Structure 1
């Protein structure tokens, strides 16, 4: 009986020791391009698109031309600096009110956001920016 108790005690100590130590997890090597991509994102943040009317993806042509003329060189530079395998994603936004999906005569915020992103893309394309990135 004493031997069983001793064996059980030794097993319990071994289990407790094994549970108390955790293997060291090695962190994966960071992507060396992250700093470059973050810097490019900061450049793009300086050229926000404004001028969309409430629930609309339409901006007066004169305003678009002015914006695209200012933004095109910055976007072109960012595209040229993007590392292989990265792409520039144009994202449209709306306010938080209204339905996300179409309801009745309301187009829904997702559709409006998509149309706004396409409008920005098309304005840049009209200024000569047509990249596979």
Structure 2
């Protein structure tokens, strides 16, 4: 029941954010009635930053991990049935975010780990948390594509344990998740 309410809250928050963006952009555009050749690129940049910030606030409420429990240690596979359930609740939000970004930005699918284990690949060949975090992001990107979500405006990143979940111990399994954020496209 709480999970359903959380999904409904996410959807309502995104809907309100999208409406605010629409009204804000309409107001900004209708207010620009200058007839001289003054450069208004700062206004455009400010408006774009506002849109991205608003989308990212909505996306900050969305993450994926198997069964909402975090991946098992060193695991990267995305369970199909679990992801399908997640996608049903979050597909519209992801697609809406993708529809609002221009060609200079991408939706970054970011993998995370807990702080257990080494960060980098070890001399003895053991893989580190950077590997596992990126592999999780790649697996979620593939699952998004399989769910029918266009991935041409997406990228993947792995940040290991650099960005722990708020209020969660760094070693906790809940840190093993994938998050979403609009970022500038790599040049």
Q: Distance in 2 between matches of 1:84 and 1:58?
A: 30
| Higher RCO (Cα < 8 Å, 6 or more apart) | 2
1:45 counterpart = 2:60: yes
1:33 counterpart = 2:48: yes
Which ranges in structure 2 are unaligned for 5 or more consecutive residues? 1-41, 154-187
Which ranges in structure 1 are unaligned for 5 or more consecutive residues? 1-28
Q: TM-score, length-normalised on structure 2?
A: 0.51
1:46-73 deviations in Å (ceiling 9; x for gaps): 2211222122112322111111222221
How much is the aligned-residue C-alpha RMSD, in angstroms?
2.0
1:83 counterpart = 2:102: yes
Indicate the SS of the match to 1:54. Answer: coil
Aligned residue pairs, count: 106
1:34-55 deviations in Å (ceiling 9; x for gaps): 1100111122122211222122
Alpha-carbon distance, 1:84 to partner: 3.5
Indicate the SS of the match to 1:91. Answer: strand
Match of 2:89 in 1: 70
Larger Rg: 1
Runs of 4+ in 1 over 6 A off after TM superposition: none
